[in-house]
């Protein structure tokens, strides 16, 4: 059994500030915890999770079979040793990794997948899931960093601006995954980058950007009202789809 990871602060002190989610009170939404994520960022994730059910923190060495959804959060870079970078040009700008998230990826992720618990990845979580299912990654995108700003994304039915807080990206999507949204041309060598995907058969999806940071922002040019969720329609639809798969037992 895995060793319990000691947090530098008590996880229970991180609570959502939003009162949303009462309509989904029968659901439990887990947010993967890491002590390397700030209290403020973790509270944003919990607020976001509360739009889909009762939020709770999940430790990176913990398996929770009662979850209706697990959110794998953003954070550091994928390890440079990840198979997603094999045969790819690495960069001296490859950033630090999070050992707690790497522990989860190595020892717990497969258990959640095998039990068909819906999983939604954000930023690092998006990349982690993409790599797990055979995708290839760019180690660094020139001109992209955590403060690049907003950019356009588009799907079959939607087009709007989202934030950009990453310098790595998916270059080739794994064959089990279906691209749902792309950035505008010019991501890398004038080629569109994948901004959202879903698994073709499993209740798994993810987005490269940070919807939790957009939750409390109102901008008619960027966001649309989607029921109780003030955020992007792509994320809203993906999460509803994977949670529906689980509810139907697919």
Alpha carbon 36 to its chain's center? 16
CB atoms within 10 A of CB 154: 15
Residues 6+ apart with CB under 8 A from 213: 44, 163, 165
Query: Cα–Cα distance between 35 and 45 in angstroms, integer?
Result: 14
Token reading at 116: 């068909």
According to DSSP H, which parts of 70-218 are helical?
99-107, 109-114, 124-132, 211-214
Q: Are 48 and 212 in contact (CB under 8 A)?
A: yes
User: 99-107 and 124-132 are packed helices; what angle lies between their axes, rounded to 10 degrees?
Assistant: 30
**Which residues are part of the catalytic machinery?**
123, 210, 212
């Amino acid at each position: 059994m895995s060793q319990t990871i000691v947090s530098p602060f008590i996880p229970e002190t991180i609570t959502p500030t939003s009162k949303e989610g009462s309509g989904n009170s029968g659901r439990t939404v887990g947010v993967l915890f890491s002590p390397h994520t700030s209290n403020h960022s973790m509270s944003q994730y919990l607020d976001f999770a509360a739009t889909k059910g009762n939020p709770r923190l999940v430790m990176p060495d913990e398996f929770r079979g009662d979850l209706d959804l697990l959110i794998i959060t953003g954070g550091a870079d994928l390890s440079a040793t990840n198979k997603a970078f094999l045969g790819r040009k690495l960069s001296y700008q490859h950033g630090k990794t999070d050992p707690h998230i790497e522990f989860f990826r190595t020892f717990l992720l497969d258990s959640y997948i095998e039990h068909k618990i819906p999983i939604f990845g954000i930023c690092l979580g998006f990349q982690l899931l993409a790599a797990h299912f055979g995708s290839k990654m760019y180690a660094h995108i020139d001109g992209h960093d955590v403060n690049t700003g907003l950019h356009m994304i588009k799907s079959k039915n939607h087009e709007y601006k989202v934030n950009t807080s990453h310098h790595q990206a998916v270059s080739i999507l794994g064959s089990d995954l279906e691209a749902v949204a792309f950035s505008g041309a010019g991501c890398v060598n004038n080629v569109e980058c994948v901004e959202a995907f879903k698994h073709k058969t499993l209740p798994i999806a993810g987005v490269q950007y940070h919807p939790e940071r957009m939750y409390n922002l109102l901008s008619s040019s960027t966001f649309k009202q989607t029921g109780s969720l003030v955020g992007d329609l792509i994320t809203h639809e993906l999460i509803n789809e994977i949670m529906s798969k689980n509810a139907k037992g697919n």
